[in-house]
Structure 1
Amino acid sequence: MDKRGVDELIARHFAGLPPMLQRAARYAVDNPKEIALNSMRAVAGSAGVQASAMHRLARQLGFDGYDAMRDVYRTWLAQGHATFADRASALQRGAGGNDAALIGELLQADARNLDRMNDPDILRALLTARDVLAKARHIYIVGLRSLFPAAFYLNYACGMFRQDTTLLAGMGGIFADELRGARKDDALVVFSYEPYARDTVAAVEYAREKGVRIVSVTDSAVSPVAVKATALIVVENATKSLFPSVVPALSVAQTLAALLVAHGGAASVREVRQSEAQLRQFSVYVTATKAT
């Protein structure tokens, strides 16, 4: 049996399950990666049920026990079958015509994602990242596809108070060219979730070879962009939406920019002031006027 078969079993039996098993089943549908990676006790804790409920759910679905069910999810994850079509199908099944409930679940998921960023390991990693970036001769930033907003924001914000950042966007097909000048005293900030973009992984591998210090913002300690990272920031990105949540990555981008400004001294304030003056010269923003 594959993961799609398990999802179909859950859908078929869901209405007849006791409330506790329904909660466990809903968590399994919404968080397959967690099932694949974590123990029964850890998953039960996240789902808000007793560990025995996960075992009973597996038995109810025809498995010998939780481990047998988890093996299906592990195979799914290892084979890269977390397709966007699967996510879209799960989104439609979960919506059930109740958009207000769906909105609530999406907001609650991101609230939990952000709350987990208070973990001491993440806080330490953020401080390490700040130190790496503050000392870097040049900062390269990459985040492709759905994570481009996080990379763009960090580059844009840093551009207000320092002139030594490069966004690896690959416009015109020059992605590799943009990283050509990287060297040992530089840093690369990378935003990448599963499924990992090929160019992002290639950029990290090239940076490693050049001795560039890497700040990785990713979804797993074993992701291909996590290896040998000087600062590894592993975020939760669970959501029912079509793509894994970009909110935690954007939060990291905002936090890193804020930390750099906070410790940039008078020079950073001076650069921000000069940037504002230049924006005013170009009339970038609409000037507020009183209504008449």
Structure 2
Amino acid sequence: MTQDNATAPLDSVNQALAESYAELSPQLKLAARYVLDHPMEIAFQSIRKSAAAAGVTSSTLMRLAKRLGFDSYEQFREIFQSAVQAGPIELAGRASSLKALAGSDDQVFVDVGDTAFDNIGRLFTADMQPKVRDAAERLLAAGKVAVVGFRDAFACAYHFAYVGRIAMPNVQLIRGQEGGLLTELATFGEGDVVVAFGFDPYCAETVRALEVTRANGVEAIVVTDTLRSPLVPGAAVTFNIATATPHFFPSILSAITLVEAILAECVAYGPEALVDNVTRFESRMRELGAYVDLE
């Protein structure tokens, strides 16, 4: 294995796993599932402990590492160690303080806060920043941008499209109402980008939208909750975000925060025209009386 491969970022390893997941044997799938869902454990547990937790043998984990091009399991594990040692921004202390202030009767409230802080902390890691920049560059270079997300993910798609369109008028929210999904997507092709949001349980419409746009040569930026997601194959950029919550539906907090980070990156590093677009939008809204000012 070359030195360049040995120091490949964790995202490249995860993407390779996600792309090959469907073709793996049942035992290798178990191993891959554990690797994708437990990067911290892979980084610091022994191979025996990780294998036991995954429900496979140590040799299965070694086979998985070699399938990905590593000479040894240690080389494979070093990729995870390098990534997680950068660590998330320290927010755990805030959650601990919240827990200390609350009584036992407020446990649900405390648990929601605890997981929210953890989700955001997992988002702002050293390996995430270059991916955000990559996504922003692709969006800035795109002719048109389609934004897709249905059911629980619609709020994420709507927020991206609404805020994004203020600076970049080429952003279009795909609603897919009354059977119009294919019609709305028909105008997108090579040189365009689709941004797709989807979390377990995954919507068939979102998967279909990605299939259609991929066939037309549209690049995909995917925001999902695991690299085993059916939205991942073929994506140019994949954001695997935390959606944990005591609530009965996946949390979209990290997704909304990621949207803000990507769009901020677009405005910060894009042409001056984007700032002009935001200024004109605000002026126009004020002229129309869309805002109510404080007395």
Q: Does 1:238 align with 2:238?
A: no
Letter in structure 2 aligned against 1:261 = V
Question: What per-residue deviation string (whole Å, max 9, x for no partner) do you get for residues 201-220 of structure 1?
Answer: 00001111111010001111
- What per-residue deviation string (whole Å, max 9, x for no partner) do you get for residues 124-172 of structure 1? 2211111110100000001111111111111111121121111011234
Query: Counterpart of 1:111?
Result: 117
Question: What pairs up with 1:41-120 in 2 under 5 angstroms?
Answer: 99-120=105-126
Please point out which of 34, 38, 47 is paired with 1:38: 34
Conserved 8 A contact 1:153-1:254: no
Identity of aligned residues (%): 27
> What is the distance in 1 between the residues matched to 2:198 and 2:179?
20
**TM value normalised by structure 2:** 0.65
Aligned-pair Cα RMSD in Å: 2.8
Q: Which amino acid aligns with 1:219?
A: D
SS at match of 1:108: helix
Q: 1:228 to 1:146 in 2, by over 3 A?
A: same
Q: 1:49-93, CA deviations, whole angstroms, 9 ceiling, x for partnerless residues?
A: x99xx99xxxxxxxxx86669xxxxxxxxxxxxxxxxxxxxxxxx
Following superposition, the deviation at residue 45 of structure 1 comes to 5.8
1:206-225 map, 5 Å: 206-225=212-231
Describe the shift of the 1:67–1:165 C-alpha distance in structure 2 as closer, same or farther (beyond 3 A). closer
SS of 1:241's equivalent?
coil
Q: Give the aligned residue type for 1:165.
A: V
SS in structure 2 of the partner of residue 181 of structure 1: coil
Is the alpha carbon distance of 1:207 and 1:103 closer, same or farther for their aligned partners in structure 2, counting shifts above 3 Å? same
Q: CA deviation at 1:122?
A: 2.4
Give CA-to-partner distance per residue, 1:15-73, whole Å, 9 cap, x none: xxxxxxxxxxxxxxxxxxxxx9437xx59969xxx99xx99xxxxxxxxx86669xxxx
User: Which residue of structure 2 aligns with residue 265 of structure 1?
Assistant: 271
Query: What is the rounded CA distance, in whole Å, between the counterparts of 1:269 and 1:232 in structure 2?
Result: 27
What is aligned with 2:142? 136
Amino acid at match of 1:188: V
List 4+ stretches of structure 1 deviating above 6 A.
none
Please, what TM-score do these two structures have when normalized by structure 1? 0.66
Q: Which residue of 1 is the match for residue 59 of structure 2? A: none
Kept in 2: contact 1:147–1:249 (CA 8 A): no
Instruction: Report the structure number with the largest CA radius of gyration.
Output: 1
Alpha-carbon distance in structure 2 between the residues aligned to 1:163 and 1:245:
29
1:156 aligns to 2:156 (yes or no):
no
Give unpaired runs (5+ residues) of structure 1. 1-35, 56-64, 70-96
Aligned 8 A contact 1:143 1:191 in 2: yes
Matching residue's letter, 2:119? N
Q: What is the rounded CA distance, in whole Å, between the counterparts of 1:99 and 1:196 in structure 2?
A: 34
Equivalences, count: 213
